[in-house]
Amino acid sequence: MKKKVLLLTLALILSASFVFASGGQEAASSGGEQFITIHWAQWAPADYLQKLSEGFTKETGIKVIVEQTPWETFVQKYNVEMIARSDAWDIIVGDSQDLGNMADSGHYVDLTDFFKKNGLANKFTAGSIAAYAEYPANSGKYWGIPAEGDCLGWAYRKDLFDLPENQKAFMDKYGYKLDVPKNWDEMLDIAEFFHDPDNGFYGISIYGDNGYDSLVMFAEQLIWTYGGDLGNYATGQVLGILNTPASADGLKMYKELFQYVPPAFNDAFFVKANDAFTAGIVPMTCNYFAFLPALANTATNPYADGTAYFACPPQVGRDGKTRQFSALGGQGASIVTYSKKKDLAMKWLEWFIREDVQMEWAKMGGYSCLKSVLDTKDFLNATPYNPAFAQSLNIMKDFWSHPDYGELMEIASRTLGNYIIRNQGTAEQALQACATEWDAVINK
């Protein structure tokens, strides 16, 4: 029954998108103008890209339409279209985890020659190349251009941290200065210190389990930071890598932090994370940098003037080594194999990678991954969160870029969520369950 409903839903989405696409193309071509269509999720960066592309239109006369789909159905929609070999879009700004699937399935144009011609492997940050462009890992094959660099970072109420009474009480209780946490142990202390549910104030705002990737993204950065890993991306080995004591240490920290979140945070994602902060009921929140501009704006955050930002902290693992990671988000821009306007789409890519365009992109609120932009004072001073973002780009790491990543994501959300959110079993049992199911999927 579920399968029939899913197939019917996919058919309806596909049918509706064909109607939209054909209608839109007919309207745009009736005037004889050239245009390309870019598909992205519905959020502020897509609005910025539409505005940015006005510069491309002015230079070339080629119109750009950025079609947006709500995040809830974004990945599903473009996968349905690609399976149908649709030419509804010329470029997709697709999720990083889906790069392997899209490349293996032949849906994206091979951009390896384009990369080599423009020396892009040395111009963009290594992490962004690995996540948004290259597949398989370390293969030298490229399928996208880093478009929206993103990873998890933090906003905090500096005004609360700096209050003399808070400074004194924290020092008296923990024996060190209340400040940006230098490690995850200090993060836990700060969450405990501020947690005051009797007065409607809570210690921290972090993701819960939305059934897709919210919990997985927050969990994986802790697993990496504590010395564990998700597996060997090159060989597909999971057992003995994911289900280790170091990975369990990271998962246990997640669960400890989660006891200090506001009520009804079991399904929290980026909206609830920001809302708790702007409501003034938490001293700090973790969210993707793409959603932090709202916290720097006094129109959307009454505490904006007292808000500051920091990168995910490091931690000394049980092996004595210090590690620091942030879970990668963001997307790359890829040309659709079935596009009838690949030449126009390539012109847009050639324009988008220019340093002047990337700087304008960064100033608008997009997140450039071009090293020559990130190294400038103009970028670092453009927003209060850009210094933390620039630092985070060097510590970000991605989930499996595997053709079956969607299934891997569901397994991790369910098995790890049983422990963190639903209080079932131990960290070790959750990791063993996840590793066993992952091994069956990856090595089937």
Q: Which residues in 103-117 are b (16+ Cβ under 10 Å) and which e?
A: beeebbbebbebbee
Mean pLDDT within 319-348: 97
Percent of the chain with pLDDT over 70: 93
User: Average model confidence (pLDDT) for the chain?
Assistant: 92
pLDDT of residue 161: 98
Mean pLDDT within 269-282: 97
pLDDT digits (tens, 9 = 90+) for 70-111: 988 999 999 999 999 999 999 999 999 899 999 999 999 999
- Residue 433 pLDDT class (50, 70, 90 cuts): very high
Contact 37, 90 (CB under 8 A): yes
All structural domains of the chain, each given as residue ranges with its CATH number in brackets, are: 2-148+331-366 (3.40.190.10), 152-328+403-442 (3.40.190.10)
Cα Rg, the chain, nearest whole Å: 22
Mean pLDDT within 131-158: 95
Q: How far apart are CA 321 and CA 201, in angstroms?
A: 35
pLDDT digits (tens, 9 = 90+) for 283-293: 999 999 999 99
Amino acid at 115: F
Contact 75, 377 (CB under 8 A): no
Mean pLDDT within 410-436: 98
What is the number of other CB atoms lying within 10 angstroms of the CB of residue 185? 13
Q: If you search the block for the tokens 């209060």, which residue do you land on?
A: 384
pLDDT of residue 413: 97
pLDDT of residue 382: 87
Contact 276, 262 (CB under 8 A): yes
pLDDT digits (tens, 9 = 90+) for 185-216: 999 999 999 999 999 999 999 999 998 899 99
Q: How far apart are CA 113 and CA 92, in angstroms?
A: 19
Mean pLDDT within 239-261: 98
pLDDT digits (tens, 9 = 90+) for 33-68: 899 999 999 999 999 999 999 999 999 999 999 999
Contact 203, 193 (CB under 8 A): yes
pLDDT of residue 153: 98
- Residue 444 pLDDT class (50, 70, 90 cuts): confident
- Residue 13 pLDDT class (50, 70, 90 cuts): very low
C-alpha 191: how far from chain center? 24
pLDDT of residue 72: 82
Structure tokens at 236: 């597909």
- Opening angle at CA 14, ends 8 and 20, nearest 5: 135
pLDDT digits (tens, 9 = 90+) for 145-178: 999 999 999 999 999 999 999 999 999 999 999 9
pLDDT of 1 > 70? The answer is no
pLDDT of residue 23: 40
- Residue 403 pLDDT class (50, 70, 90 cuts): confident
Higher pLDDT pick, 32 / 252: 252
Higher pLDDT pick, 382 / 354: 354
Amino acid at 432: Q
Amino acid at 95: D
